Chains A and B, each alone.
Chain A
């Protein structure tokens, strides 16, 4: 795991650079074991920065979330770099954003964190209910929880986030500075959940999804947190035409979820943020991963791997499969 003292040194050095205006990292949260994003603008603030298995959120979303207000006449835009700390999965979001030319490569400075996995906060809170403040560290294959003056060690498999159990790229795929030694791939994805779902009958599938979608309250958190959902004019907000009406019923909810998932086809990099933020626990990754696997099987394409790659749906191959076409 990354040494926090080293992380602070690197962060101090980076934020002191002339060409860096902002550093996005993690700092301890205000409740329980949580960590939250930190936005560091000068070197006094770096002392709060940490990295621990509690740092679950994907910071690459913030690069596109920043509001670009119109500038007064005669004022030059601030084109200095934004430094961002990314884990392996998050770095793929950066790669995919660069594939889509969301911004220029020279406008960001990537601080890569080779990662051995982060926790699932829901599981942690189940295991240690009511902890007001505590810290998590990783030692080998164990997670060490320190709170209320005591320490508890738990094997990491028990509390690791689902996405980490099938992580293929623990070391960031792009980085300007790597904060630790590279981590070897320790897991792989067998898509067993998708295969199990596909094995059901049409009625069973719909019964399952109807139950899931009918719980959706349309808070749009999954869209807002997604690093790949950065369109300025989202198809789901558009009033002309209205693709999904605002009413919360099974029809509109299904349409919302189809549109959201379809727009991530060949783009979702499986950071799992949508599922994490969902207040009603809809298994959104089951939708995204269906596309992920289809794309991998049919077109041998994995999003977020190479910056030079073209987006999947803006390319084609003459030999694409077409066995369903009449």
Chain B
């Protein structure tokens, strides 16, 4: 059964992108007609510092197979420090989810600047490949109950 579902499995990836770098980077990838996997659903936030680590947990619970948080390179944050705070939070959250038995390939973080359309493609390809390898998220996904 598991092998069957893994065959042709197309993961859902939720990506939290910062408005100033990664969102613009993804936009550049689009306007440059760079082809990248269409598994990613983008949520634009003003800064990675806005992303509560509980968002990751909530996305995984509501059916995402992987979560990507992407922002400006360290030192380039529009708000000077937002991505530094985010980095600490996500390091801890990722380690913790790994400790609970959630494969670390599901929780990714990247720095993509506004000019890195091609890096965005590489990041997405790697994330999708990683999630495909570990299969659908079924650990604490919210199940529909039939009452």
Contact = CB atoms under 8 A, between A and B. Distances in A.
Interface in B96-147: 96-104, 108-111, 123, 126-127, 139-143
B54 A259 contact: yes
A324 B91 contact: yes
Nearest to A326: B110
Contacts of B95: 290, 294
A259 B57 contact: yes
12 contacts: A197-B99, A206-B102, A249-B143, A255-B57, A294-B91, A313-B85, A321-B91, A324-B91, A324-B108, A325-B87, A325-B111, A326-B123
Nearest to B55: A243
B99 A290 contact: yes
Given A262-B53, A262-B92, A325-B109, A210 B87 contact: no
A258 B98 CA distance: 12
Contacts of A235: 54
B74 interface: yes
The 10 closest A-B pairs by CB, nearest first: A206-B101, A205-B101, A326-B110, A254-B140, A316-B84, A251-B140, A251-B142, A325-B109, A290-B99, A326-B123
Contacts of B109: 324-326
Interface of B: 53-54, 57-58, 61, 74-75, 81, 84-85, 87-89, 91-104, 108-111, 123, 126-127, 139-143
Interface residues of A, number: 45
Contacts of B84: 316-318, 320
A295 B95 CA distance: 11
A299 interface: yes
Interface string A293-319: 011001100000000000011101110
A320 B92 CA distance: 12
Given A202-B103, A205-B99, A210-B139, A262 B93 contact: yes
Contacts of A259: 54, 57
A261 interface: yes
Contacts of B53: 262
A26 interface: no
A297 to B, nearest CB: 10
B101 A209 contact: yes
B85 to A, nearest CB: 6
Contacts of B101: 202-210
A206 B139 contact: yes
Interface of A: 197-198, 202-210, 235, 243, 245, 249-252, 254-255, 258-259, 261-262, 265-266, 287, 290-291, 294-295, 298-299, 312-314, 316-318, 320-322, 324-326
A64 B111 CA distance: 40
A120 B84 CA distance: 41
Nearest to A323: B91
A261 B81 CA distance: 25
Contacts of B142: 245, 251-252
Contact of B108 (A208, A266, A294, A326): A326
Given A243-B58, A313-B89, 14 more contacts: A202-B101, A206-B101, A209-B101, A251-B140, A255-B58, A258-B96, A262-B53, A295-B92, A299-B88, A312-B88, A320-B88, A320-B91, A322-B74, A324-B94
Contacts of B98: 202
Given A243-B58, A258-B57, A325 B110 contact: yes
A262 B107 CA distance: 15
Contact of A254 (B75, B89, B100, B110): B100
B66 to A, nearest CB: 12
A261 B91 contact: no
A203 B85 CA distance: 31
Given A198-B99, A259-B57, A326 B91 contact: no
A205 B123 contact: no
A203 B140 CA distance: 13
Given A206-B139, A209-B100, A316-B85, A265 B91 contact: no
A320 B75 CA distance: 13
Contacts of A251: 61, 140-143
